[in-house]
Amino acid sequence: MENEMSEAAEYNPPKIWTWNKPSGGAFASINRPIAGATHEKELPVGRHPFQLYSLGTPNGVKVTTMLEELLALGHSGAEYDAWLIKIGDGDQFASGFVDINPNSKIPALLDRGGEKPVRVFESASILMYLAEKFGTFLPTEQPARAQCISWLFWQMGSAPYLGGGFGHFYAYAPTKIEYAIDRFAMEVKRQLDVLDRRLAESEYIAGSDYTIADIAIWPWYGGFAKGWQYGAAEFLQVQDYKNVQRWAEQIYARPAVKRGRMVNRMTGHPSEQLRERHDASDFEIRTQDKLTAAQVQN
């Protein structure tokens, strides 16, 4: 550890940074300092009003959960096709995807329900777009509306410390750097304490009602509290945040959340992976375990 710290301390940045070697780590093959498409490929289009291009990461789960919650409330106009974007293969750099999201990040949503298609990107933007379109999960009156939006934006500002910061250096970086892990572990624990204190006084994040604030925060911090991310539950003692634990379990008990977590998922038990979703019946007949069994039979 001391050698790693001394090597890090000896690095003197050049006057001008140049991209002349792989970045290292688990995502070296898809990291690059420029935007735009790397190859021509159109996106598939299904029959529903909403076309979602995503992956079952925490940011992707936000949107599939929202769509499943809307459908559970009877909003048939929220029917959607969910297409798998394999970010490890660089699908997000295809020309069709870049046309919807020039930032080349999942999730990306195309609303084809009106006269002109509407592209929506950034997960919080998609949640707000859907909440406003269907008139639910986002308060309309102040101060409840401001409270909800404030926590939604808290998540967007905070999660990069959890994922790109702590998660990267703890789980994915090619070397373990004590300073980086300490820096981000401290911040993640502070964030968990912020949530724990809030949830000590409120049933849900933004108040007494379930909102897009919960839908946005749960895949990151609820999943982390349940020990699903980075293998770091013991390291950060997530069980100590009792109010976060209570809330994490409460949200996970919702059937729409369980369904949302399955869509575009490529990890975990095959029965919990619905890599593409085009109909509500897919949860029963097209999970990965059933598709694999059918292939073996054939």
Query: Strand pairing partners for 110?
Result: 51, 119
Q: Give backbone dihedrals phi and psi of 39, rounded to 5 degrees, phi first.
A: -160, 160
pLDDT in tens, 270-297: 999 999 999 999 999 999 999 999 988 8
pLDDT band (50, 70, 90) for residue 7 = very low
Burial class for 144, CB neighbours closer than 10 Å (0-12, 13-18, 19+): middle
What is residue 9's predicted lDDT score, i.e. its pLDDT?
62
Q: Which of 82, 77, 85 is nearest to 65 (CA)?
A: 82
What is the reported pLDDT for 202? 98
CB 92 within 8 A of CB 104: yes
As a whole number of Å, the end-to-end CA separation of the chain is 53
The three-class DSSP label of residue 49 is: coil
Question: Residues 6 or more apart from 130 whose CB is under 8 A from it?
Answer: 63, 66, 67, 70, 78
Q: What whole-number distance in Å separates Cα of residue 107 and Cα of residue 105?
A: 6
* pLDDT higher than 90, residue 212: yes
- Among 137, 272, 297, CA closest to 210: 137
Q: pLDDT digit string (tens) for 186-206?
A: 999 999 999 999 999 999 999
Residue type, 79: E
Q: Which 3 state secondary structure label does DSSP give 82?
A: strand
Q: Is beta strand 80-84 parallel, antiparallel or unpaired with respect to 50-54? A: parallel
The two three-digit tokens of residue 280, written as one number: 């509500």
Confidence category of residue 20, pLDDT binned at 50, 70, 90: confident
Rg for the chain, CA atoms, rounded: 20
Six token digits for residue 86: 């394999």
On average, the pLDDT of the chain sits at 94
E-strand ranges in 8-117 read 50-54, 80-84, 108-111
Residue of 228, 230, 165, 227 whose CA lies nearest to 191? 165
Q: For residue 154, how many other CB atoms are within 10 A of its CB?
A: 18
The residue behind tokens 């020039």 is 102
Range 126-131 average pLDDT: 98
